[in-house]
Chain A
């Protein structure tokens, strides 16, 4: 069974940092591209960041560029999101998701249950 389990969320003050983790199991993690997607309370889905299977290619949404860093450890089957200089508008549930690219387009075929990040003083 494919599982993605996020951890590391919590309450942090504005300007603070947090590191999210996503533990993957049930598939060959090192061969799949991965993505972080977030959802602010009562709002829609927002793509945050992407990382290639080997970790050499990364992309970020403009809203987090320069503040967030995506990384992965294929030996540990784990995905990470280092979040610095956090703002109130970063408050959201953060989901890790597996990217599927089978026809020249990407979609997220498996999602974790999410971890809540609250940025507040």
Chain B
């Protein structure tokens, strides 16, 4: 069974940092593009970042570019999101999502999410 489990969320002050992790099981992430998507009441569902299987292709939403860094460790079957210079508008549930195939499919299989709250 395909499963991804996010962790690392929490309460952080504006300007602070947080590192999210996503542990995969039931499949080998080395053959899939992986994604981060977030959801907040004010912004709805928002794609955040994607990383190719070999990490050669990385993309970010304009809203997080320069502040967030996506990475993966295929040996550990894990995905990460380093979030720096956090703002109140980054408050959201963050989901890790695996693509359906080895192509760019938008992120199909989602975890349960981890809540990030940016507040003083």
Q: Do chains A and B stick together as partners?
A: no
